[in-house]
Structure 1
Amino acid sequence: MDLKTARIAVGIRFKISKLGKIRCPELAGKVGVVVDVSPRTTGVTVLFDGAQRPTVVHRDYISPEI
């Protein structure tokens, strides 16, 4: 398991990673909170700031906000 993805847990704040900005340019600059992490898939359910509904993104597309 990658060390970066090991730090992703419910409740942490995140920002879109460099890979996420390349693959999903419409998400560039967005931040939010992780609301669910599935141990079976590579998807992470997140709630972007200002959004009313959560979104599922690939875990490599986010990085913890420090």
Structure 2
Amino acid sequence: MDLKMDRIAVGARFKLSEIGRIRCPDLADKVGVVVAIGHRTTGITVLFDGAQRPTVLHRDYIKTNL
């Protein structure tokens, strides 16, 4: 199991990592909360502040230690 995955928990506040900001420039300045973690995939479901619907991001795009 990837150690980075252990640090990501449902309810954790996050912002995008450096690679996430490069790959998703429209989301670069946004922060939010982790709402679900895929156990068989690399996808993490997140809800950005002010958004009505969740978004799925690759776990490498998320930085939880604000």
TM normalised by structure 1 equals 0.90
Percent identity between the two aligned chains: 71
CA drift at 1:23: 1.0
Moved over 4 A (4+): none
TM-score (norm 2): 0.90
Separation in 2, partners of 1:13, 1:41: 20
- 1:52 corresponds to which letter in structure 2? Q
Q: Which residue in 2 is equivalent to 1:29?
A: 29
Show the 5 A alignment for 1:27-66: 27-66=27-66
Task: Find the aligned partners of 1:30 and 1:62 in 2 and give their Cα distance.
Answer: 11
